Amino acid sequence: MSTASPRSGGIFGWLDERYGISPLIEYMRHKEVPLGAHPMVWYYLGGMTLFFFVCQIITGVLLLMYYQPGETTSYESIHYIATKVPFGWLIRAIHCWSAHLMIMSLIVHMFSTMLLKAYRPPRELTWLTGFGLFGIALGFGFSGYLLPWNELSYFATSVGTDSVKSVPVIGHWMLLVMRGGEDVTINTLYRFFAGHVVILPLVCFGLISTHLLVIQRQGMAPPIHAGTSTHGMPFFPNFAMRDLLLWLICLTVLATLAWLMPYGPKLPGMEWELGAKANPLAPAYPGIKPEWYFLWIYQLLKEFPPNLMGMEGPQVCLLLVNVLMGSWALIPWLDRKAQRGKHSPTFTDVGFAVIYFLTFLTLKASDLGVAVTPTNDAATAIVASYCAWVTLGIAGVTTLTRFFLYRHRYFLLSAAVLTHIALHGLVGWSYLTVGAVTVVVTAIVLTVSGLTRSGAEGVES
């Protein structure tokens, strides 16, 4: 008789006898969530993202019961779901809301992981699978967007898929395969549908399993320099129960939002009013924008001139986006200090710099400060200055918090990004020119300070 099993009767005993599950429970009971230097709230975000993903699966399957992809059925079936099917509007609203909330919590999760350096060894794979999941989530958003086959989604998809053509050599072929033809047609919708309901979920399950498996195996990352602390909260039941409570709260919030605003908060890139049916032969109209998490790329594309350095502007821009994304994925290997278990103030500042960079572009793409999408330079300049003020305001608050509360002392990179934003938005210089100048100046400062500091390694906060 095994002595490990706390109970031996009932279903548990029956299962335990056959599959030996009590060691698993025992393992979970001993597993601890590190407590320490930073607030616990950051440990819940992954679970929250997972919760919204589960909501996506459930509502997605429910939507599938009525949705019919097709030239004459896609739009009509969504319309039917939203207007005729009892609670159809609610299911659709929850699917849309949960999608946005999932991406939000994913992004916050990613940035908190980044700022707390949880990616440092031995957790590189957790970061990498997490980054993969971020990509998958964007793919879900992009492919799902087209499925209602309405005007806005049609144009946004035309523009969004077009960027694929700038891939060297196989770009055009990739575009054809993605769209199922030269242009976005109903064939594109069929392909996106297959991706949205079969391919992406399969890949996603694989990645989530790996992500969770490595986390279970290694435990959550303790704060830097707290490796020896014995401080911790048992994962089961203490942490799991808190997780459960949080999920309950999330569900309530989700349901309330879906009930109050079934078509979204009407913010730029965050509404899902069905609108008119897609008509491939209608001209595009102003204000065609992707969803909010793509807005920064959308805006960056706008900042590039038609031709640059012998290449087409969009090509250079997308190359830049890919380089940025690639470096983001490789952060665990770039951050040498965190690799050695030391504080790396530079990378903390990188995190904040990236946040300001994305905030400014996203705000600018949302045409903050004007009523309609500007079509002339004067109005664009107003938007730029308005967004610059808001971004600088946010940056001021976060920087003061960092300085006084967290005693951060390294601000070079965030300062560079903010200078860039100020010179563009407030002084009115071209985004790209100031950007290039800022990059060069920062690189010089970094090299010089790196040379002078290489002797005094010990001075870091």
d(CA 428, CA 350): 25
Q: Which of 113, 109, 107, 34 lies closest to 335 in space, CA to CA? A: 113
For another protein, give the closer residue by CB, 9 or 283.
283
Closest CB 166 distance from another protein, rounded Å:
10
Taking the complex as a whole, how short is the minimal distance between the CB of residue 282 and another protein, in angstroms? Answer: 7
- In the complex with another protein, the residue whose CB is nearer, 125 or 301, is 301
CB of 422 to another protein, least distance (A): 24
Rounded to the nearest whole angstrom, what is the least distance from the CB of residue 307 to another protein in the complex?
6
Nearer to another protein, 284 or 400 (CB): 284
C-beta of 187 vs 327, nearer to another protein:
187
Residue 247 contacts residue 120 (beta carbons within 8 Å): no
Q: Which CB atom, from 132 or from 195, has the smaller least distance to another protein?
A: 195
Give min distance, CB of 372 to another protein, in A: 12
| CA 433 distance to own-chain centroid | 28
CA angle 323, 359, 178 (to 5 degrees): 50
Distance CA(327)–CA(324), nearest Å, equals 5
In contact, 120 and 338? CB cutoff 8 Å = yes
- In the complex, the smallest distance separating the C-beta of residue 205 from another protein, rounded to whole angstroms, is 22
Nearest CA to 198 among 47, 64, 62? 64
CA triplet 447, 392, 264: central angle to 5 degrees? 120
* Cβ–Cβ under 8 Å, residues 170 and 298: no
Cβ proximity to another protein, 58 vs 159, nearer residue: 159
CA distance 186 to 311: 32
Angle at 227 between CA 226 and CA 231, to 5 degrees: 65
The CA distances from residue 74 to 81, 189, 217, in Å, are 11, 9, 44
User: How near is the Cβ of 318 to another protein at its closest, in Å?
Assistant: 11
Binding site for another protein (CB under 8 A): 155, 158-159, 162-163, 173, 176-177, 179-183, 187, 280-288, 301-302, 304-307, 312-314, 375
Give the nearest distance from C-beta 337 to another protein in angstroms.
40
Radius of gyration of the chain (CA): 25
> Residue 19 CB: number of other CB atoms within 10 A?
9
User: Two tokens at 30?
Assistant: 């001993």
Q: Which is nearer to another protein, 219 or 369 (CB)?
A: 369
According to DSSP, the residues that pair with 234 across neighbouring strands are: 32
Tokens read off for 69: 């992809």
Residue whose CB is less far from another protein, 92 or 179:
179
Name the nearest CA neighbour of 58 among 84, 95, 87.
Answer: 95
Contact 141, 293 (CB under 8 A): yes
Considering the complex, what minimum distance in angstroms separates the CB of residue 72 from another protein? 17
Between residues 124 and 162, which has the closer beta carbon with respect to another protein? 162
Give the nearer residue to another protein in terms of CB position, either 61 or 176: 176
CB 113 within 8 A of CB 191: no
Minimum distance from residue 343 beta carbon to another protein (Å): 43
Angle, vertex CA 145, rays to CA 141 and CA 149, nearest 5? 165
Residue 60 or 290 with smaller CB distance to another protein: 290
Whole-number Å distance between alpha carbons of 424 and 419: 8
**What ranges in 84-226 are assigned the alpha helix state H?**
88-115, 124-146, 151-162, 171-179, 186-194, 200-218
In the complex with another protein, the residue whose CB is nearer, 40 or 176, is 176
Helices (H), 8-87: 10-19, 22-30, 45-64, 74-83
Instruction: Please report how close the Cβ of residue 161 comes to another protein at its closest, in angstroms.
Output: 8
What is the smallest separation between the CB atom of 197 and another protein, expressed in angstroms?
A: 18
